[in-house]
Amino acid sequence: MTEEIKTETHPEQETDKKSTLRVIVHSFFVVPFLIALFAVIVYLMVRVLTSEPNDAQVYLEHVKTGGTTKRWQGAFELSKILSNPALVPDDERFVQEMISTFEYSSHEKDHRIRAYLALAMGRTRDERYSETLIHSLQEKNASVVAAGAYALGLIRSKDALNDLIQIASHGDPHVRLQVIIALGNYEDERTTNILISALEDFEANVRWDAAVALAKLKKDNGRRILLDLLDRNYLDSFPNIDPIEQDQAMLVAIQVIHNIIDPEFEKVLLKLSENDRSMKVREAARKVLNI
């Protein structure tokens, strides 16, 4: 008689098998799945946070048909995204819509709409907006005139130069500032006398940008002002200028000094390259000195 041999499985062995299976499943399926899921979530979050709207037409529609708040916000967004050449529509239809929207908005009580639209047109660097912007220089609202002047400086329209020169002594200091910045972009000898006169303006920002513009033209009439802009103690005397704005003012001055550099500038730049608190300022000074 053959005796049947039975193999007994102990509960401990069953538990070990189940535990091993769980480890395998967890290690080779669950953990990779969770990691992949987490990676996808992070990727999507980064895309959402860093993505920028790329449809200027949508914002233009906001300006045309939105409520008061939506209109000026749409114009503001247009002025931002049109600074990126890749996002600028170059078709004639869009250009004409921008122009007609700007002209139609002349009745708006919120002048930010027209000011931001003017900036948006200027940031395209498109000559087709020049005539409209030149007309904006005759408006009563100073913020619109200032934006129009700045925009024309970005486009560098030759047709606008005489009009900009005519309002260089405008009663509003912000308009004068934007005109000086615009004239500095032209780098044209016809602007020299205007810029030299602006060195005596009672508004500090106007004096500073006039000195920068003259240095671009390789003229040192504003050298004393540029030296002041490289002096932290001088900049500290303006409590409304924060440290970041101080750095920016110094960087702008350093960038144009190479056109009029002399031993006194070299001495100041060498000191900045060794001791200034800003790494950017030190690096910019070293670049000019070639050290």
For residue 221, the SS3 value is: coil
What is the reported pLDDT for 10? 52
- Main-chain phi, psi angles of 278, to 5 degrees: -95, 125
Of the chain, the percentage scoring pLDDT greater than 70 comes to 81
- Main-chain phi, psi angles of 125, to 5 degrees: 60, 30
Q: Where are the alpha helices (DSSP H) in 82-172?
A: 92-104, 112-123, 130-136, 142-155, 161-166
**Cα 30-34-39 angle, rounded to 5 deg:** 150
Nearest residue to 213 via CA among 278, 168, 246, 272: 168
> Of residues 158 and 37, which shows the higher confidence score?
158
The two structure tokens encoding residue 112:
């930010």
The two structure tokens encoding residue 45:
């979050």
Q: Is the per-residue pLDDT at 123 higher than 90? A: yes
Tell me: the pLDDT tens digits for 150-195? 999 999 988 999 999 999 999 999 999 999 999 998 877 789 999 9
CA 158 – CA 176 distance, rounded (Å): 19
What is the reported pLDDT for 186? 86
**Residue 254 near residue 281 (C-beta atoms within 8 A):** yes
What is the reported pLDDT for 108? 81
CA 92 – CA 69 distance, rounded (Å): 28
Q: What is the pTM of this model?
A: 0.76
Q: Is the per-residue pLDDT at 7 higher than 70? A: no
CA 164 – CA 194 distance, rounded (Å): 10
Per-residue pLDDT, averaged over 198-225, amounts to 95
What is the reported pLDDT for 53? 45
